[in-house]
Amino acid sequence: MQNTPDGRTPLSTYDTPVEQGVRTTVPPRAGRRSSVRLFGLVLAIVALIAVAVLSIGFGARFLSPGEVWAGLWDPDSPYYRIVHEMRLPRTLLGLMVGMALGLAGAIMQALTRNPLADPGLLGINAGASAAVATAAVFFGVGTFFGYVWFALAGAAIVTALVYAVGGGRSATPARLALAGAALNATLLSYVSAVLLSDTQAIDKMKFWTAGSLASADFATVERLLPFFAVGLLTGLLVAGPLNALSLGDDSARALGANPSVIRAAVIVAVTLLCGSATAACGPIVFIGLLIPHMVRPFTGPDLRWLLPYTAILAPVLLLGADVLGRILGSPGELQVGTVTAVLGGPLFLYLVRAAK
Amino acid sequence: MIEKKAPIGRKVGVRPRAVVVGVVAALGAFVISVFSLGTGDFEIAPADVMTTLFGEGEPAHEFIIGELRLPRLITALLVGAALAAGGAVFQSLVRNPLGSPDMLGVTNGASTAALTVIILGGTSTQLSIAAVAGGLATTVLIQLIAGRALHGFRFILVGIGMAAILTGISGYLLTRGVQMENARALLWLTGSLDGRDWGQAVPMLIVLGVTLPVLLLACGPGLRMLEMGDDSASALGVPVPLLRNGALMSAALLVSFAAAAAGPVNFVALIAPHLAKRLTRAPGPNLVPSIFVGALLLTGADFLAQHLLTDRALPVGVVTGLVGGAYLVWLLTTERRAGRI
C-alpha cells in the first residue's frame, strides 16, 4: 500500500486514485457484458447440440440430421437401432467425459492458482491409469465397473498427494507443477513396468492407453453417470465459494465461506470427474488445460461464468475430436486422445504465443 | 547466496566443495561399476574385476567383462553423464528447475521419432538417427514457437505443450503396431540398457567428447553470467544469443544421443543437476558435478534394475522413474518445510 502525497497511510486502498478509477469504470459495463456472456453461452449450447448431432450422424453410414432425429425418437425408423445401440452411447460418453475433464481442469486451475493445472499434467489421470493397470494385470479386472473403483482410488490418492506435496495453500505454480510432473513420471514408469510384465496386457490396454471412446455402450454410460453427476454438481456448486477463495483465506472466511470445506469439495469433485472419465476412456490430454484457457478471455476469471462455459465447450472439443478421428482414420479410427493432443496442442501453443 | 558468487568479470575459480562432490560421485560411480561388472550369471570378485580392467585378468573374465558387461556399463556411464549435462544446461538456460529436457518435450521428440522407426520395422541404426533428428527438431521448434528469451513461463508452456502433443502421437503409434513391436516399443519407451554394445557406447563417447569441452570452455562461466540476466551478461561482454543457442543445441544433442542409446530414461536429466546443486551449494549450472552425479545415478539405477527382482531384470527407466519420483517428492516436501521453495 502506497502512502498518499501528504505522507499518511491511506485508510483503504480506495483512497488511491488508481483504485477510484477502476471503481468508476467497472459497474456501468458489467450489465452489458453479462448479457453478452449469456448470449455466448446460448451459442455454445447450440454448438454442443450441433456437434452431438454430427457425432451421432457419422459412422459407417452417414445419417443426416433428419435421420438422426428420426432414429432418436421413432422406434420404427430403420436407424433406431444404430443410433440407440452404438452412436448415442458413444456421444453421451463423449459428452460426459468432455465435461468432466474440462471442469476438473478449470477448478484445479482456480484452486491452485496455477495456469498449468490439468488433470493430465498433475498426474491425476496417471494415478487412475496406474490403478487400472494394476487392476487389469494383477486382479484380472476387465470391465468398467471393475476399473472405476480402482481408478477413483488412484485419482484420489494422487490428487491428495500432489496437493499436499505441492504445498497445499501456499502452493506456487512451479512447485505444484514439479510435484505433478514428478508423480506423473513415476506413475507412468510404474504402468510401463506392470504392462511389460504381461505382453497380453499391452495388447488389451493399448487402445485404452491412447484414450478412446470406441468401447462405449449404454452399460458404461449408466455406470459412469452417478459418479459424473455428483462430480459435476459439486464442481459447479463450488464456483461461488472458489471465487471467494481466490481473494485469500481471510477474505473467503469474511464472505462466509469455509476454506477447508471448499478445498475438500474441489478435491472430491476432481477425483470423481477424473477418476471416472479415465476409467471409461483412458487418459485424454489437453481438454482440462485448453478449454479454460480458451474461455477465459470471454468470461474473465469469474468462475460462475467460466465453469458453465467450460462445461459446455469442453465436450464440443472432445466430440469434435472424436468425429474427426473417425473421419481421418477411416476405415478404422484415430483415438480421440491422439486427436485432442494433435488438435489441441497447436491451439494451445497459439494461445501461449498470443498471451503477452 | 549472492555473497557466495565469485566476483563478476573474472573467470570462475574452482570451488573446493564442488571438487569434493565431483570426486565422491566419480568414486561412487566407479565402485558401482566394479560391482556391476562382477555380478550377473557368472560372479567375479571385485579384485578380479580390477585386475581384468588393468588387462591382467584370466581370459574367461576378460571375455565376460570386456565383451559382455563393459559396453553396457560404459553406455550407462555416458548416457547418465550426457543426460545430466543436458539437464543442467537446460535448467540453467530456462532458469527454472522444471526446465529439463524430459519435461519440455525434447526427449518426447526423440522417442516419437524412434517409435515411428520401430513401428515401421526399421533397424537400430535408423532408430538412432531418427531419435537424434527428432530431439533436435523438437528443440528448434520449441524455440521458434516460443520466440524471445528462453527463460520465462512461455518457453516452459510451449515445451509442455509440445511434450503433450508428442505423447498423443506416441499413443497413436503404439496402437498401430502388432504385439511384438509393441513390446519392443514399450521397452524402448521406458528406457533400457539391455543388450547395449559398443555400437551405442562409441557414438555417445564421440558426442560427449565434442560437446562437453565446448560447453565447459565456452559456456561454463558464460552460463553463470547468463543466469544473472541477459542485460547484465551482455554488458559483461557475453555474446548472449550465440552462447544461448549454442548451449541449447549442444544440450539437445547430448540428450537426443542419450535417448538414441538407451531410450527416454526418465528423471536423470531433471534430478542430477538438482542433486549436484544441493550438494555443492553453488549457483550456476554446476556442469561438472552434475555429470558425475548423473553417471552415478544411472549406473546405480541400472545395477538396482538388474538385481531388484530375483527372477527377471527391470528396464532401468522403471527404476529411475520410481526412485526419481520419490526423490523429487521428498525434495519438495523438505524444501517446503525449510521454507526454501
CB contacts of A166 in chain B (<8 Å) are 332
CB-based contacts of A319, cutoff 8 Å, min separation 6: A51, A52, A54, A55, A91, A94, A95, A98
Are the Cβ atoms of B167 and A207 closer than 8 angstroms?
Answer: no
Identify the pLDDT of residue B121.
84
Burial class (CB in 10 A: 0-12, 13-18, 19+), B95: middle
Half-sphere exposure in the Cβ direction for A154 (13 Å, CA): 33
Closest CA to B106 of B224, B242, B279, B266: B266
Average pLDDT of the residues in B203-208: 92
> Is A61 part of a structural domain of the chain?
no
| pLDDT higher at B94 or A17 | B94
CA distance A249 to chain B (A): 20
CB contacts of B305 in chain A (<8 Å) are none
Nearest CA in chain B to A337: B168
> Is A321 part of a structural domain of the chain?
yes
Closest CA to A172 of A120, A118, A114, A243: A114
CB-based contacts of B273, cutoff 8 Å, min separation 6: B84, B87, B88, B91, B100, B285, B286, B290, B293
Instruction: Measure the CA dihedral B302/B305/B310/B312, to 10°.
Output: -100
| pLDDT higher at B104 or A147 | B104
Flag residues of chain A having pLDDT under 70.
1-32, 116, 144, 167-175, 199, 201-210, 355-356
Cis amide prior to B315 (ω within 30 degrees): no
Identify the pLDDT of residue A12.
36
Grid cell digits, residue B31:
565402485
Single-letter amino acid code for the residue at A4: T
> In chain B, pLDDT over 90 holds for what percent of residues?
33
Which long-range contacts (C-beta less than 8 Å, at least 24 apart) are formed by B231-240? B232/B8, B236/B8, B236/B9
Please work out, in degrees rounded to the nearest 5, the angle formed at the alpha carbon of residue B178 by the alpha carbons of B176 and B179: 130
CATH number at residue A80: 1.10.3470.10
Grid cell digits, residue B136:
533436435
Identify the pLDDT of residue A118.
79
CB-based contacts of B180, cutoff 8 Å, min separation 6: none
**pTM of the full structure:** 0.82
> In chain B, pLDDT over 70 holds for what percent of residues?
93
Identify the pLDDT of residue B152.
67
Identify the pLDDT of residue A296.
87
Query: Which of A169-173, B207-211, B294-298 shows the lowest per-residue confidence on average (mean pLDDT)?
Result: A169-173
Identify the pLDDT of residue A173.
64
> Is A45 part of a structural domain of the chain?
no
Structural contact between residues B265 and B324, judged by C-beta atoms closer than 8 angstroms: no
| Residue among A161, A210, A348 whose CB faces B174 most closely | A210
Single-letter amino acid code for the residue at A129: S
Identify the pLDDT of residue A15.
34
pLDDT digits (tens, 9 = 90+) for B21-52: 999 999 999 999 998 888 877 888 888 888 88
Identify the pLDDT of residue A23.
37
Looking at the complex, does the CB of residue B108 fall below 8 Å from at least one CB of chain A? no
| Residue among B96, B169, B315 whose CB faces A342 most closely | B169
> Is A284 part of a structural domain of the chain?
yes
Are the Cβ atoms of B341 and A167 closer than 8 angstroms?
Answer: yes
Looking at the complex, does the CB of residue B337 fall below 8 Å from at least one CB of chain A? no
> Is A19 part of a structural domain of the chain?
no
- Give me the number of domains chain A comprises: 1
Identify the pLDDT of residue B156.
80
Are the Cβ atoms of A167 and B145 closer than 8 angstroms?
Answer: no
Identify the pLDDT of residue A318.
94
Structural contact between residues B83 and B103, judged by C-beta atoms closer than 8 angstroms: no
CA distance A284 to chain B (A): 9
CA distance B22 to chain A (A): 26
Identify the pLDDT of residue A329.
79
Q: Show the beta-strand stretches assigned E in B88-204.
A: none
| pLDDT higher at B139 or A147 | B139
Helices (H), chain A: 17-57, 65-73, 80-82, 88-112, 124-138, 144-166, 173-196, 199-210, 218-237, 239-245, 249-254, 259-281, 287-299, 303-328, 336-354
CB contacts of B160 in chain A (<8 Å) are 116, 121
**How many whole angstroms separate alpha carbon B256 and alpha carbon B261?**
9
Nearest CA in chain B to A181: B103
Structural contact between residues B97 and B264, judged by C-beta atoms closer than 8 angstroms: no
Average pLDDT of the residues in B2-11: 44
Backbone angles phi, psi at B6, to 5 degrees: -70, 155
> Is A54 part of a structural domain of the chain?
no
| Burial readout A311-345 (b: 16 or more C-beta within 10 A, e: otherwise) | bbbbbbbbbbbbbbbbeeeeeebbbbbbbbbbbbb
Which structural domain, as residue segments, surrounds residue A290? 71-354
Question: How many CB atoms within 10 Å of residue B283?
Answer: 17
Are the Cβ atoms of B168 and A174 closer than 8 angstroms?
Answer: no
Instruction: Measure the CA dihedral B137/B138/B139/B140, to 10°.
Output: 50
Structural contact between residues A97 and A230, judged by C-beta atoms closer than 8 angstroms: no
> Is A38 part of a structural domain of the chain?
no
DSSP letters spanning B238-294 = --HHHHHHHHHHHHHHHHHHHHHHH----SHHHHHHHHHHHHH--SS--HHHHHHHH
Burial class (CB in 10 A: 0-12, 13-18, 19+), A164: middle
- CB pairs A-B closer than 8 Å: 157
Identify the pLDDT of residue B339.
57
Structural contact between residues B96 and B156, judged by C-beta atoms closer than 8 angstroms: yes
Nearest CA in chain B to A200: B179
Burial class (CB in 10 A: 0-12, 13-18, 19+), B259: buried
Are the Cβ atoms of B190 and A182 closer than 8 angstroms?
Answer: no
Looking at the complex, does the CB of residue B189 fall below 8 Å from at least one CB of chain A? yes
Looking at the complex, does the CB of residue B278 fall below 8 Å from at least one CB of chain A? no
> Is A344 part of a structural domain of the chain?
yes
Instruction: Measure the CA dihedral A128/B316/B171/B107, to 10°.
Output: 110
Grid cell digits, residue B219:
559456456
